[in-house]
Amino acid sequence: MLNGGFLNITSEIGKLKAVLLHRPGRELERLTPQYLQELLFDDIPWLNRMRQEHDGFAKVMTGRGADVYYYEELLEEVLKNKDIHESFVEDLVKICNIGNELLEKGIIEYLLTKTPAETVEIAISGLHKDDLPEIKREPCLLDYIKQEYRFYINPLPNLYFTRDPGTVIGQGLSINKMEMSARNRETMFLRYIYKYNPLFNGKNTPQWYDYNEKHSIEGGDILVLSDKVVAIGCSERTSANGIEILAQRLFENSNIEKVLAVKIPFTRAYMHLDTVFTMVDYDKFTIYPGIEDRVSVYELTKGRKMPKITPIDTLENSLKSALGLPAIKLIKTGRGDAITAAREQWNDATNTLAVAPGVIITYNRNEISNEYLRNNGIEVIEIEGSELVRGRGGPRCMSMPLVREEL
Ligand SMILES: NC(=O)NCCC[C@H](N)C(=O)O
């Protein structure tokens, strides 16, 4: 097995040492009511306030001893190499499916006049049609038909949910295949960072999955429960096929011995497993009440070509056996009250991020759930999130842990 990389995640709760974020930028100012649904938003955030809130989130993590890295900075470092810049620009235009060769060529030429920082900015916030200087060419039908749509390169307003495009499992990295096309390009950025940024030490870091694969897997569904067990939600975003493939690779190439496939209802309100269930301490989880009875759990272990599958009766039993614990505690959001829980789950009360065992970050707006977590012995650090929450994600969604202390 390869050894010597920087990445190391063997639990959900070990002290957080390094994390990858994206500070919301101009891409959020390119959301319009017309395209909200397509871009997976429910409302239009106020960017300045959102950035303040995001800085507050980052500050809590640095205050707790974690190094904070930003997508935009790691990618910019990589693009300082001229050849990599060139290949990135070509891949960027290719993945956007613009569909007219001359136009694509013009956009590539334009982007190659930009500095690495400017290219990163355009790659994330999009290329508005008005920003492209006139290219000498005959107009194509696309110019007329798609006139209403204002971008050659779409903005990526969901990039601040860094949890989803990539996941560190053990000492390796899964570059995920997004189910939603609005988010596909995010994974390509991570691939460049993994391959070329020395921090990721790509040569010595195994890659478990790639965004070019056929079956979707999104990071919000992957919970690294221990150095031997991973839970993966089968959801609106993560396919059963993807889970099987990733599981078998982990069994063959890492220390992981068991994958719990947790099928949750396929609906936007519970888009990923971490929107209804997160780990908060050695033996404690927070859960959206009622979901325990609507999930089915399958234990996957190493098979000859594909994993062996054993259905397990309850989520609770699967966790106890996987973690080797006599008992676990499921702490219900909204103190178990159906209306409070539904309201607070929508605002990501269940989507907590542990910075150490029993110490979690949550949004301050979820008052009842936060108080109930405290009553159950959890230290809750609250952050502002009135604007951040409008993209439908909480502290766990907004972070991609790179290194945690071993338990
Ligand atoms: N892990 C997560 O649940 N991430 C939240 C992603 C929200 C984003 N608007 C999306 O729909 O993909």
What's CA 194's distance to the chain center, in Å? 15
**201-248 tens-digit pLDDT:** 878 899 999 999 999 999 999 999 999 999 999 999 999 999 999 999
Measured from the CB, is residue 72 less than 6 Å from ligand 1? no
- In which band, very low, low, confident or very high, does the pLDDT at 149 lie, cut at 50, 70 and 90? confident
Question: What does the pLDDT read at residue 2?
Answer: 43
Specify the pLDDT at position 137: 72
Question: 286 alpha carbon to ligand 1 midpoint, in Å?
Answer: 18
- Shortest CA distance to 350 belongs to which of 285, 290, 306, 293? 285
Q: Residue 324 — very low, low, confident or very high, per pLDDT cuts 50/70/90?
A: very high
Contact between 397 and 378 under an 8 Å Cβ cutoff? The reply is no
Average pLDDT rounded to a whole number, residues 382-397? 97
Q: Whose CA is nearest to atom 1 of ligand 1?
A: 220
Question: Would you say residue 405 has pLDDT above 50?
Answer: yes
Q: What DSSP character marks residue 6?
A: S
| Mutation probe of ligand 1 site: the residue of 272, 273, 390, 392 with most atoms within 8 A of C-beta | 392
pLDDT at residue number 4: 59
Percent of the chain with pLDDT over 90: 89
CATH T-level assignment (fold) for domain 16-70+158-404? L-arginine/glycine Amidinotransferase; Chain A (3.75.10)
Measured in Å, residue 41 CA sits from the centre of ligand 1 at 9
Q: Return the pLDDT at 174.
A: 98
pLDDT of residue 146: 65
Using a 10 angstrom Cβ sphere, with 0-12 exposed, 13-18 middle and 19 or more buried, the burial of residue 136 is exposed
Q: Cα(82) to centroid of ligand 1, in Å?
A: 33
Buried b (16+ CB within 10 A) or exposed e, 82-120: eeebeebbebbbeebebebeebbebbeebbeebebeebb
CATH of 73-153, picked from 1.10.730.10, 1.10.3930.10, 3.40.50.10490, 2.40.50.140, is 1.10.3930.10
Residue extent(s) of CATH 1.10.3930.10 domains in the chain: 73-153
Q: Report the mean per-residue pLDDT for the chain.
A: 95
Cβ proximity of 76 and 117 under 8 Å:
yes
Q: What is the mean pLDDT of residues 43-69?
A: 98
DSSP string covering 79-92, please?
A: HTSHHHHHHHHHHH
194's tokens: 């993994």
What is residue 1's predicted lDDT score, i.e. its pLDDT? Answer: 40
Nearest CA to ligand 1 atom 4: 397
> Using 50, 70 and 90 to split pLDDT, how confident is the model at 147?
low
Per mean pLDDT, which range of 125-134, 170-179, 327-336 is the poorest?
A: 125-134
pLDDT in tens, 166-195: 999 999 999 999 999 999 999 999 999 999
pLDDT for 31 beyond 80: yes
| Helix, strand, coil share (%) of the chain residues, nearest 5 | 40, 20, 40
**Over residues 368-392, mean pLDDT:** 98
Q: Annotated catalytic, 96?
A: no
Q: What is the pLDDT of residues 266-291, one digit of tens each?
A: 998 899 999 999 999 999 999 999 99
Residue 390 Cβ inside 6 Å of ligand 1? The answer reads no
Q: Where in the chain is the domain with CATH 3.75.10.10?
A: 16-70+158-404
